């Protein structure tokens, strides 16, 4: 491998932190959702990197599972957002305040 493994690790850590910040700071539910996917993909990067590093297949198989699960989550999440948009005409998280807390 030409590129040292630590580079991949740092890149994935950066992606993960961007994802966390996105979830915590952005107020649009869709952008929050994209940030969540970023967190998942940061983990995927780790799996692929170290599957190659250790020369085992487990990591790559894990990535397939993660992608499938993420797709299932997208289906449910988008359906929820559409349902809320129909009732409220907004998916701004700051306006989600009919429950105190």
Residue ranges that bind another protein, judged by CB under 8 A: 9, 12, 16, 19-20, 23, 29, 32-33, 36, 39-40, 42-44, 46-47, 49-50, 53-54, 56, 58-59, 61-62, 65-66, 69, 72-73, 76-77, 80-81, 83-84, 87-88, 93, 96, 98-101
Q: How far is the CB of 16 from another protein (least distance, A)?
A: 5
Tokens of 9: 């690790």
- Asked if 48 contacts 60 with a C-beta cutoff of 8 angstroms, the reply is yes
Tokens of 88: 């409220």
Backbone angles phi, psi at 4, to 5 degrees: -65, 150
């Amino acid at each position: 491998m030409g590129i040292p493994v630590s580079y991949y690790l740092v890149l994935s850590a950066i992606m993960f932190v961007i994802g966390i910040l996105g979830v915590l700071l952005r107020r649009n539910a869709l952008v929050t959702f994209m940030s969540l996917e970023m967190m998942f993909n940061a983990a995927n990067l780790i799996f692929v990197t170290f599957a190659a590093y250790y020369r085992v297949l487990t990591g790559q198989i894990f990535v397939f599972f993660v992608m499938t699960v993420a797709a299932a989550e997208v289906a449910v999440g988008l359906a929820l957002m559409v349902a809320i948009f129909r009732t409220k005409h907004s998916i701004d998280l700051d306006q989600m305040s009919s429950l105190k807390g």
